Amino acid sequence: MLAQKTGAGTEEEKMVIQREFEDLLERCVRCEKPEDQEQIRKAFKIAFEAHKNMRRKSGEPYILHPIAVAKICTYELGLGPKSIISALLHDVVEDTDYTLEEIEFQFGHKISSIVDGLTKISGVFDQNSNLQAENFRKMLLTLSNDVRVILIKLADRLHNMRTLESLPPNKQIKIAGETIYLFAPLAHRMGLYAVKTELEDLSLKYRYPKAYEEIARKLRDSEIARQNFINKFSMPIIDKLEKQDIRFDISGRPKSIYSIWHKMQTKNVPFEEIFDLLAIRIIFDPVPDIPEKTQCWQIYSLITDIYMPKPDRIRDWVSTPKANGYEALHVTVMGPEGKWVEVQIRSQRMDDIAELGFAAHWKYKNMSSQEGELDKWIKKIREMLEDPQSDAMEFLDDFKLNLFASEILVFTPKGEIKSLPKDATALDFAYEIHTEIGNKAIGAKQNHKLVPLNHKLNSGDQVEIITSEKQKPQREWLDYAITAKARSSIKSALKAETKNRIEKGKEMLETKLKALSLHPSSRIFKKLLPAYDVVSKDELYSKIGLEIISLDDLDKVLKKNTKNKWIKYWELQLPFISKKDKDEEKESKDGPAINKSTPYLLRENVDEPESAYIIAKCCNPIPGDDVIGYQSPNNQVIVHKSKCPAAVRLMSSHGNRIIPAKWTTHKILSFLVRISLQGIDRFGIYNNITTAIAKELRANTRTINLHSHDGIWEGTIDLYVHSTTDLNNLIMNLIKIKGVEKVSRVENIEEEL
């Protein structure tokens, strides 16, 4: 939020700056030691000199910003001297001539390291910038060593949001968008409830000002009625608690403006229909020698003696705290006037941690169990950061995906609890236990019932993973693995397998060439690549290693005159070869132009997570089907069966976008098809059918739906095949089974496949 450099401030401004700094020192609860105060004064002096010619967009001296950030760190987060020094210096290295080496010389390595991590990242959320995502990753790398980096960064963002009105509207929306995308959920994960709530509300204020003002106005208008209701609801509870000699504080507060707005959006209801607008909070002073958990349930019992609880709205976070360390017992009860009211029961320690999160732990250093959950989370971040093959933008997506999803708690067979994001699958659970268990997983038992790896788990499930030494990670697993650990492990295993396959294929080709008294050369590859429908040496090696490409006819391939085919092939696959295609590529913003004079090759991208083409859901073509391609406006090729009704419509209305397409050999990737069967019922026929599919043809079945009536049976089977050749072989084998009268492929199946 810097403006241009200006001259030194006025005497009045210098007095304001000095007063703000003295207020910071006076109210710092952990800065009693003279040496700490001396270091803080030295940091202030350096920051003041470094920023003396700078002003914020609001016009105020820039030094007031780092002072304000330091105040948030100590007043609102309870941080100590090192954090205050780092906060005062957090912009010095980036915005002035000071270097990290000078900071280290003056204050030591630890503060220098924190300041380095706090260097501003102005464009982290620009999805076109890999560099900015990499910078964010580096900041998190510092986090994994010192959690204060994130706490101070959140304080910095909070002050920027509090002073956002001085920026132009386009900058306000950009910063507010960044805040709701990452910083608010980051505060949630760190357990900073108050910071998270304020960031969410301020973000909403600038992103949707009308909605914010309308909800704020309605809350103001209903404030008196709400306070009267809180008093009426609380009085009998206060009476009960006082009779039990429980020392407590009871308060009622409305939900945050953002949480009300979010519920209105997700449930599509107006403000008036949000029934749980307020929550009552009871914070008690625990009695020594009695577990806080026991006292929470005692208060719960007293409340439910007065008001009827809603059984499905009890949230027990005293037995199993959230991953951010949050502990409380929540119960929703039917209050006066037929209104549901949420009551939150916490000890004073629980409330401190709920409000201040990780920053409150210094007050409770002997409560090591509270740090455990956050330590586990930071360990997960470190695992993600240590993956050397992880793409920066991919990392940012995985980080956001896992950071703050609603959590479920799942039990191992031995009763150990694992915390996973909502919608996590059995496969995610397998990788959460151990990478090797995930890599070898073939299925799971959920509460003793057999389920597939893509089965979504629920909180409270007990899950056992079934493994096989023959199993290895499949590319399809990425479609339903959602945790960063699972996805990272799968990608690493696939990349390692690809590397091994390429090495194996290279060795096989070189051995074959040596037998022909030849050595690998560009001339030889100019013949081999188009002959085997591949576009690179690595793809050639990979397919040789997979035995998709046989080298038995290598000598014949090398003897063929492939000049013309070569030219056509590379005009198709590498459009930048000709000047005409160079011009076309310059004109295209979404990818290289496609040569429509030759078939577009539908290759098996075994070494790429993303396919270059999309299979149309309306007809689900598989290798071997006659197909055409439709080039969408963003240059993606959508593959339809030639006879598909949708393809016929496209050919008549968008003929200029239709391109010829041709399958290459597919032996690794599978495609889902449905076959219809009919026959005469007899004992054992179902077993014969499943045996033929599973054992004789090694096909992977998804669903079997067969039923019989009046001596006739019929139904469908959905299964995965590599090509029409596999499918036709399967149909021929099934038709040979006694009692099977008719087997056919179901064309134009519904999209749910």
Q: Which helix (H) or strand (E) holds 373?
A: helix 368-385
The answer to whether residues 478 and 495 touch, using CB atoms and an 8 Å cutoff, is no
Phi and psi torsions of 17, nearest 5°: -60, -45
Task: Give the whole-angstrom CA distance, residue 336 versus residue 400.
Answer: 41
Catalytic residue, chosen from 13, 95, 292, 397, is 95
- Tell me which residue of 562, 570, 579 sits closest to 601, measured CA to CA: 570
Which token pair is 514? 């040596």
Task: Give the whole-angstrom CA distance, residue 685 versus residue 679.
Answer: 10
The answer to whether residues 709 and 729 touch, using CB atoms and an 8 Å cutoff, is no
Based on the residue annotation, tell me whether 373 is a catalytic residue of this protein. no
Residue tagged 């501003």 (tokens): 120
Residue tagged 């959905």 (tokens): 718
Count the neighbouring beta carbons within 10 Å of the beta carbon of residue 529. 20
The answer to whether residues 639 and 614 touch, using CB atoms and an 8 Å cutoff, is yes
Count the neighbouring beta carbons within 10 Å of the beta carbon of residue 117. 23
Listed in sequence order, the residues at least 6 apart from 266 whose beta carbon sits closer than 8 Å to its beta carbon are none
Residue tagged 């999209």 (tokens): 751
Task: Give the whole-angstrom CA distance, residue 669 versus residue 674.
Answer: 17
| 279 beta partners | 253, 342
Residue tagged 């608010």 (tokens): 184
**Edge-to-edge, what's the strand order for the sheet holding 278-284?**
248-254, 278-284, 340-347, 329-334, 315-316
The torsion region of residue 684 among left (phi > 0), alpha (psi -120 to 50) and beta comes to: left
The answer to whether residues 347 and 295 touch, using CB atoms and an 8 Å cutoff, is yes
b/e map 349-388, b = 16+ CB within 10 Å: bbbbbbbbbbbbbeeeeeeeebbebbeebbebbeebbebe
Which token pair is 658? 């239709």
Count the neighbouring beta carbons within 10 Å of the beta carbon of residue 570. 18
Count Cα atoms within 13 angstroms, Cβ side, for 190: 28
End-to-end CA distance of the chain: 52
The answer to whether residues 67 and 24 touch, using CB atoms and an 8 Å cutoff, is yes
Based on the residue annotation, tell me whether 95 is a catalytic residue of this protein. yes
Catalytic residue, chosen from 38, 94, 386, 423, is 94
Count the neighbouring beta carbons within 10 Å of the beta carbon of residue 82. 20
Q: Which helix (H) or strand (E) holds 204?
A: helix 193-207
Catalytically active residues, by annotation: 94-95
